């Protein structure tokens, strides 16, 4: 990796830390201390996004689309998915207010890209439900020690073994065989195009109906979703 790329990775990781560290403590703070946060979500112009063939959670008819950009090696993405996503599921997805999409922004290491490629293959071969099972399991196996970022951890063998924990032998074999033919290439190109189009600088980054979320709590996100739903209703 060249010097410029190392600097960019350090910059992005730093931004992730400063912007998303509250997800690791914020959920607990809200639940335990009842802290109030000031809402300051983005009011930027909505950007058109083609959500077709992207993995999602929720009802297709939900009026609001929440989109996460993530990297499977990003520790803040792990915290987001383990601590914050369940609250989104319970209060926004299961209630029919929103559906939740995931797009890859694999920048930390070469195996970030490999994990994204494998995940896309799982989605294309085994479908949406199995993708989310694999997605959750892969984040659960991310090491606690951040030194691993420089290590090529997510080998094809590691990813295959992870899939074996949630899928049967025949389905795993289908994914392994398909992975060799690189069915993920166009999907990841599409993901990268949105990283550039939306000027995503860090992971995890959230967008609500094409507008970037810049709030400080789940309540901020909930208010942004409610406002987006109102705007859709008024159209």
pTM for this entry:
0.81
> What are the extents of the domains in the chain?
3-234
pLDDT digits (tens, 9 = 90+) for 172-200: 999 999 999 998 999 999 999 999 999 99
What is 3-234's CATH number, 3.30.300.130, 1.10.490.10, 3.30.70.20, 3.40.30.10?
3.40.30.10
pLDDT, tens only, 68-121: 999 999 999 999 999 999 999 999 999 999 999 999 999 999 999 999 999 999
> What confidence score (pLDDT) does residue 99 get?
97
pLDDT of 39 > 50? The answer is no
Three-state SS across the chain? CCHHHHHHHHHHHHHHHHHHHHHHHHHHHHHHHCCCCCCCCCCCCCCCCCCCCCCEECCCCCCEEEEEEECCCCHHHHHHHHHHHHHHHHHHHCCCCEEEEEEECCCCCHHHHHHHHHHHHHHHHHCHHHHHHHHHHHHHCCCCCHHHHHCCCCCHHHHHHHHHCCCCHHHHHHHHHHHHCCCCHHHHHHHHHHHHHCCCCCCCEEEECCEECCCCCHHHHHHHHHHHHHHHHHC
For residue 4, the model assigns a pLDDT of 33
């Amino acid at each position: 990796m060249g010097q410029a790329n190392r600097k960019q990775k350090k910059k992005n990781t730093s931004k992730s830390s400063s912007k998303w560290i509250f997800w690791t403590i914020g959920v607990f703070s809200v639940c335990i201390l009842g802290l109030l946060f000031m809402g300051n979500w983005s009011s930027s112009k909505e950007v058109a996004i083609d959500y077709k063939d992207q993995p999602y959670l929720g009802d297709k008819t939900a009026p609001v689309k929440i989109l996460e950009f993530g990297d499977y090696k990003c520790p803040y993405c792990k915290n987001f998915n383990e601590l914050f996503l369940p609250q989104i599921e319970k209060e926004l997805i299961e209630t029919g207010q929103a559906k939740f999409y995931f797009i890859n922004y694999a920048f930390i290491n070469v195996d970030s890209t490999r994990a994204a490629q494998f995940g896309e293959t799982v989605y294309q071969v085994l479908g949406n439900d199995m993708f989310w099972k694999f997605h959750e399991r892969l984040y659960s196996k991310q090491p606690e020690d951040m030194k691993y970022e420089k290590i090529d951890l997510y080998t094809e063998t590691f990813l295959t073994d992870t899939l074996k924990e949630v899928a049967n032998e025949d389905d795993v074999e289908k994914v392994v065989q398909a992975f060799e033919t690189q069915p993920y290439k166009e999907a990841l190109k599409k993901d990268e195009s949105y990283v550039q189009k939306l000027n995503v600088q860090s992971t995890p980054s959230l967008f609500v109906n094409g507008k970037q979320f810049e709030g400080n709590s789940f309540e901020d996100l909930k208010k942004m979703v409610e406002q987006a739903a109102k705007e859709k209703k008024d159209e």
